[in-house]
Structure 1
Amino acid sequence: MKVTGNLPGSPCWAQLSASDPEAAKQFYGQLFGWTAVTDPDPQFGGYTVFELDGAPAAAVAPLMNPQQPVMWLISISATDADATAQAAKAAGAQVWMGPMDVADRGRWVLLSDPTGAPFALWQANRFNGFGVVNEPNAFGWIDQTSRDAKAAVAFYREVFGWQIWPDENYPMVGLADTMFGGIMQMGDRFPPEVPSHWSPFFVVADVDTAAEQAARLGGEVLHGPVDVEMENGPRIAVLRDPQGATFGIFAPRA
């Protein structure tokens, strides 16, 4: 589905920070059929938008410093990034960078929520974020693996007004009566050093085929493929790319 704007308070962008952006372009290009379009302006430091049929689908950028982890970062749409950052800080978030203008593209803030999960705010100007969602090889869901799921749910409900669909194991979140994500409490299988984190999930036509392709390209299948045990639940898999960034794939059940 092509989109021209993103609902304030909803996920609006997914950006990969990679130690080897060129290798990331190859991996995700072959996995999802994305075309890598690198901004030629040196002020953007090689920032590359992945396009799907000409529409912005995600991005990759070099690490800002060697200590930065290789990871996917989710951005949430904000009509006023400064005010939203202040509200998030008052609710227990840590503001790490910004608010700052990104040329004429928009205004950006890097934060972490009270559970430690990093995320960003994006106030669009010339660049809205996702130009395509909820179709094969495009973004479709966000998932937080959390050290404190209850605290995370309370934070995002307070700051962004997210609706909550309660579930003992996996409360789902969204806006305007539309779900776009879920928050899962970490279990014992996660090493203690793993922090709370958000991961994007991308829609695929066939989860098993895509997982096999990711493995052939040097990635790793961490979980699945498996059918989610709920009515009309999707088939999913959690993957790790060759540089260590985790993300998910899913296919709606027919």
Structure 2
Amino acid sequence: MPAPHANRTGQPCWADLMTSDLPRAREFYTRLFGWTASDSGLEYGNYVTFRKGDADVAGMSSQEPGSRLPDAWTTYLSVTDADAAVTAARAAGADVLAEPMTVGTMGRMAILMDPTGAPFGVWQADEFTGFDVFGEAGSPVWHELNTRSYSAALDFYTEVFGWKPVVLSDTEDFRYSTIGAEGEMVTGVFDAAEHLPDSVPSHWQLYLGVPDVHAAVTTVTELGGTVVREPWTAEFGTFALVTDPTGALFVLGSVDEPLPEEKNIDDAGEEDADLPIG
């Protein structure tokens, strides 16, 4: 479906990959999802835009030489004023990893780390508004914040980005809320404090849609990626946790079954409680 542009303020509008091996990542994602890749040229630092047909779906750029940061996907939240958003986020306890910067005529961005330790970006659109499709094969189908401090995370994003969380479950075993306009939920917040390995911090996680998760998992391994968790099926779809060849983590999600917000809460708690996130 078309991306919900009218409801994006404070919601995910883009995701891009920071990779240590641009050619290898380009081959992996174009073959896995059938994307095409367009290089922006020197003016924009050779930033790569992935497209599904004519629709922009994700981006990619190279790690700085000598960087010790792990390869990872970053989720960007839409804002009307990047500088104001950074000021508000800093006041609410966030760290600023990259100060606001203008990206040509495309827009203005910044990179933050929320008070629970999860990095994310903010994007103030000018000519570029973000991904053009959502919920289809070859496009983002969900964004999820897996946090070690659930209440603090909800308070932060509510204060800074105007979120209005919808609680799906609030038990000791499973706490989860969704974010988005009615009928267009696009983001989840999971209390992962008891489920993340000690070495894994809070983080945003990208879900990318495929028509057949089992077939996609086979392709992931053929292309040099890793299957962290084999496909599992719940009432709300089929999923697999995988990495690309250099270790960037993402989730494959089926597009022919209900999205996460439509799941049965009891079943969701049972499924997600042992999800090896990260």
Q: TM-score, normalised by structure 2?
A: 0.85
Partner AA of 1:173 in structure 2: T
Q: How does 1:1-254 map to 2 (within 5 A)?
A: 1-3=1-3, 5=5, 7-40=8-41, 42-65=42-65, 66-166=67-167, 167-168=169-170, 169-177=174-182, 178-186=184-192, 190-228=196-234, 232-252=235-255, 253=257
Deviation readout 1:51-93 (Å, 9 max, x if unpaired): 1011111011001351222000000000111111111111111
Contact persistence 1:165–1:173 (CA under 8 A): yes
Identity rate of aligned residues, in percent? 38
Contact persistence 2:12–2:187 (CA under 8 A): no
Contact persistence 1:170–1:182 (CA under 8 A): no
Distance 1:170 1:237, change over 3 A: farther
Structure 2 regions of 5+ residues with no counterpart?
A: 259-278
Partner AA of 2:17 in structure 1: L
Deviation readout 1:123-149 (Å, 9 max, x if unpaired): 001111101211111011111222212
Specify the SS of the correspondent of 1:163. coil
Contact persistence 1:71–1:245 (CA under 8 A): yes
Distance 1:188 1:162, change over 3 A: closer
- 2:261 aligns with none
| Number of equivalent positions | 250
Partner AA of 1:104 in structure 2: T
Q: RMSD between aligned alpha carbons?
A: 1.7
Alpha-carbon shift at residue 191 of structure 1 (Å): 3.2
Contact persistence 1:38–1:49 (CA under 8 A): yes
Partner AA of 2:62 in structure 1: P
Distance 2:180 2:82 in 1: 18
Distance 1:11 1:126 in 2: 17
Structure 1 regions of 5+ residues with no counterpart?
A: none
Distance 1:188 1:124 in 2: 37
Partner AA of 1:45 in structure 2: G
